[in-house]
Structure 1
Amino acid sequence: MLIVMSNKTTGSLYFWSAHLAGPIWGPFASWCCAWLEMIGLIAGIGTQAYGGSKVLQSIILLSTGTNKGGGYLAPCGVFLSMYVGFTIIWAILNTFALDVIACIDTVSIWWQIIGGAVIVVMLPLVAPTTQSASYVFLHLETSPDLTGIRNKAYAIVLSFLVSQYSLYGYDAAAHLTEETKGADINGPIAILSSLGIVSVFGWAFILALTFSIQDPRYLYDANNETAGSFVPAQILYDAFHGRYHNSSGAIVMLIVIWGSFFFGGVSVTTSAARVVYALSRDGGIPFSRIWHKLHPTYKIPANAVWLCAGLCILLGLPILKVNVVFTAIASICTVGWVGGYAVPIFARMIMPRKNFKPGPFFLGRASRPICMIAFLWICYTCSVFLLPTVYPIEWDTFNYSPIALGVVLGLIMFWWLVHARKWFKGPVSNIGT
């Protein structure tokens, strides 16, 4: 972390946007990118906290019985306490336990590779029956009784959300390019490698779950063994209980999944604090001096860490009243995080060719078409993430992400127009070149 804080720029996309947009539009581009990325990362902490809480809720339920057998299903208040607890633990680790985080990062890699491989291989083998390939690849289940969605085209549009939400691990590789030797080659390789690993393992995991479904309609039944609250938990329970007549195997697999959320939360908190530090260093956040301040002993932006944790907790408070909180938080996360990538991509598309100096890792003539495809895809997915996922729209099913994003981004742009554009210059160096 000491390396990060003494780095020339810190902020990855934030710096890229300023560089690619040029001296005139660079400040505005970096302003938009940094705020989008910061919003996405803070919401990203929330998605990990919510996912981890949901898995822990299922572990406790199956460990104490089942929904049918007197098991304990954590109510909204306890669930929110889990959510807040994870967020605080991650903030503490990122403030006082940097050595532990380094160890956690190493454990996380092997945990997810080995644990993910075990689930992908074992689950279809344990399941009493498996679905056919035609069901997995061709069948479309809208579950209108649960979602209120009967239009298949709309269901297909929404189905892309899972894959887009899961494709954000490469952001860590992007941050690390600023502290990597031979970053002009190793940085792009790390980003592409992380994308490949996430894509392969994510697809394999989804296939393993889908092939192992026993009764599709029973998965969402509020009266099933997992109370219909977490579909993967019910799939795991059906597989192991159907084969061995107990839920021990399902609990072990859920612990593996829970570990992935926990490790992810540690990493996302680190990334969020880095972006807050970078933007506050350049005066781009209210009370920047507070968030830019380093801990006197550990030399990390502790205030930035706790700002991220506090905002994440506020984002999760609707858990007490709203049933689609995860959808809303995941939407805010993806629109912000992925939307942040749209800024440097768009800047690269419109950048005059004479002003662009390619490095050793260059796509050549294919770069602009690929940028166009990537930009249009980001626009599509960000739009879809703002759509309702449950009908009819009521207070407890309302996806509040469009309002939350609209208010926050509106205030940010208003601040830029009336004041920030007069003094904000984009990323600055901490040390001389």
Structure 2
Amino acid sequence: MTDTAEVKKPVPYAVEQLSAESLAPDDAVLQAQGHRPELARSFSWPHWSPFTDLGSIANSWLGYGATFGTPLSYGGGPTVLFGVMIAAVAQWIVLLGLAELCSALPSSGGQYHFTYILTPPKYKKFAAYTVGITNVIAWWVSAASGIIYTGISAFGIAVFWYPDFQHERWQIYLCYVLVVSLTLIPVFAVPQRRYDYLTKTTFTLSITGLVLVLIAVLASGRGRYHPEVLTTFQGTSGWDTAPAWLLSITMGQYCYAAIGAVTHIAEEMPQPGRRIPLVINLGVLVGVMTAVPWVTVMLCGIQDMDAVHKAFIPSMEVYYQATGSKAGATALQAFMTFLYWTCGPSQWITSSRIAWAFSRDNGLPFSHYWNYIDPKFNIPVRTTFLSVTFCLLYGLVYIASSTAFNCIVNMSILFLNISFTVPQAILATVGRDQLPARSFNLGRWGYAVNIFSTVWLVFSGILFCLPTRLPVTAGSMNYGSGVLVGVYCLILLLWIERRKKFTGPKINWDALNMSNKLQ
């Protein structure tokens, strides 16, 4: 098909004619940015659905459960507990800058949208395209990281009962493929207008699961607690104390980075300019309030640190040591595995919206095909399956290396933070007065937030590419730097093909300022 087929669909209302009387304020904000509303605003605020959707994606305590063994190997209890606390502060500052941008320019396009608007004309298309495709890949990798651990957790239960079983990584990959298939079922079985019920159920199950785990571990381990684990440095990774601390902090960001997902359902929730910043800030708060108690209880329940370090699933070994029962440990880990599965549908919801929004501006090859809302399901079905295809291919990385899971997790955090931070760096460079009126304004703290986010991205990016343990072998090498270079080489090739086709949002500043004030 020719390039003319990829020209953006015309907006049915002239943006110059926007007013409070002609459109609902939420749709007026969207159309002032050059896009027409196509998705139903099904995440209704009175039911806290945007927050519960965020909870079903981020699920901080579950996220830390997936990566628990890595920071534990860096330095034992102190790096696990205090690492996740410090990570919360660092990631919260990064997300504050994102929240302000979302308040000013709410759109499912999110970060590439902000970048296009803020960058000087000469560079805006390339900068926005790079951020946009980075964001698409970031959420695909994030989805892969969550789903592959679901497979690892399920497989780990079998290994726990049959320790002599000689498992292979390709077997875990097949389990991963099965989980991908199972997580797709709710996406199509539940009507789009009922997605808020789906995410509320997931969030409720997560909080219920956390309470059950805390009660089970505390009650079973009564009289056998070891609070000294919280302050005793017991690293096995080979890293010295200082770098071990820094590496544990970056790993702790995995609990909170996905909170930015709410940005991409801006077109499916009312008053996004007001609600998104509130949801992001509440998300970090709830993340800390769930992750820290879980970590504290788990650490105090450890009886044999060496056994936890060597375990296929460290969290399951802790459950076993705390309860003294293989059946009890299996029940707790199985329930966690089920909770990991319930998070999968929200990953597909988010990643498909991002890819769809990017194709709306001709960001993907064959954008005319991907820029499609299925009339039967009222969701972007094609970009949902595009996301699935990427995840199936990216999951093959797990077969290549024993540390590939850590690589997948690290890259998901890094790519997300690149997309969160680049528009903030541009904003700090061109001047914060470039933003329109907004309900969430960082004011005099804005430059400090934007500059910190930029510096932290560079610093943490270096850490993400370091190996998880020393000495380095071919099997334990961190392939993150190779993945990073490969991804941006691919992005450069895609840009060569897209540079004359990619378009950004067309902004009516007067209408946008007026519409933002009406929210």
Normalising TM by the smaller chain, what interval?
Answer: 0.7 to 0.9
Match of 1:352 in 2: 431
The structure-2 alpha-carbon separation of the partners of 1:413 and 1:208, relative to structure 1 and needing over 3 Å to count, comes to same
CA contact (8 A) 1:173 1:194 kept: no
State which of 145, 157, 169 in structure 2 corresponds to 1:47. Answer: 145
* Distance in structure 2 (CA, Å) of the matches to 1:268 and 1:175: 11
TM-score, normalisation: structure 2: 0.72
- CA pair 428-302 structure 1, distance change in 2 beyond 3 A: farther
Query: 2:503 maps to which residue?
Result: 425
Q: What residue ranges of structure 1 are gaps of 5+ in the alignment?
A: 222-227
Once residues 268 and 13 of structure 1 are traced to their aligned partners in structure 2, the CA distance between those partners, rounded to angstroms, is: 18
Report the Cα distance in structure 1 between the residues aligned to 2:243 and 2:197, rounded to whole angstroms.
44
Contact 1:165 1:330 in 2 (8 A): yes
CA RMSD in angstroms comes to 2.7
Query: Are 1:230 and 2:267 matched, yes or no?
Result: no
Structure 2 residue aligned with 1:132, among 227, 238, 241?
227
Say if 2:206 is the partner of 1:112. Answer: yes
The match for 1:202 is 291
Aligned to 2:453: 374
**Matches of 1:78 and 1:428 in 2, distance apart?**
48
Range 204-213 or range 230-239, more displaced: 204-213
TM-aligned CA distance change 1:285 to 1:296, over 3 Å = same
Aligned to 2:482: 403
The residue aligned with 2:91 is none
Q: Percent identity?
A: 20
Deviation string, structure 1 residues 239-273 (Cα, Å, up to 9, x no partner): 111xxxx2232222213321332122211111111
Deviation at 1:108, TM superposition (A): 0.7
SS at match of 1:3: coil
Q: Which residue of 2 aligns with 1:337?
A: 416
Aligned partner letter, 1:58 = G
Equivalent pair of 2:363/2:503 in contact (CA under 8 Å): no
Note the alpha carbon deviations across 1:386-420, whole angstroms, 9 max, x for none. 1111333333222222212211212313443x454
Pairwise CA distance, 1:237: 0.8
2:253 corresponding residue in structure 1:
164
How far is 1:139 from its partner?
2.3
Are the counterparts in 1 of residues 173 and 399 from structure 2 also a CA contact under 8 Å? yes
Q: Which one of the candidate residues 350, 356, 359 is aligned to 1:277?
A: 356
In the alignment, the residues of structure 1 paired with residue 397 and residue 492 of structure 2 have an alpha-carbon distance, to the nearest angstrom, of 26
- Pairing partner for 1:89 from 167, 177, 182: 182
Q: Is the 8 A contact 1:94 1:305 kept in 2?
A: no
Structure 2 unmatched runs, 5+: 1-37, 43-105, 513-519
- How far 1:199 sits from its partner (Å)? 2.0
- Tell me how far apart the structure 1 counterparts of residues 148 and 301 of structure 2 sit (CA, whole Å): 25
Code of the residue aligned with 1:55 in structure 2: it is S
CA shift, 1:95, in A, is 4.2
Take 2:318 and 2:290, find their aligned partners in 1: how far apart are those partners? 18
Normalised TM-score (structure 1): 0.86
Do the aligned partners of residues 121 and 24 (structure 1) sit closer, same or farther apart at CA in structure 2, a change above 3 Å counting? farther
Q: Do the aligned partners of 2:107 and 2:266 also contact (CA within 8 Å) in 1? A: no
Q: How many residue pairs get matched? A: 408
**Aligned CA distance change for structure 1 residues 92 and 409 (closer, same or farther; 3 Å):** farther
Label 1:95 to 1:287 Cα distance change in 2 as closer, same or farther (>3 A): farther
Moved more, 92-101 or 11-20: 92-101
Instruction: Letter of the 2:156 partner, please give it.
Output: S
Q: For residues 395 and 428 of structure 1, do their structure 2 counterparts lie closer, same or farther at Cα, with a shift above 3 Å needed?
A: farther
**Partner residue, 2:98:** none
Residue 24 (structure 1) shift: 4.6
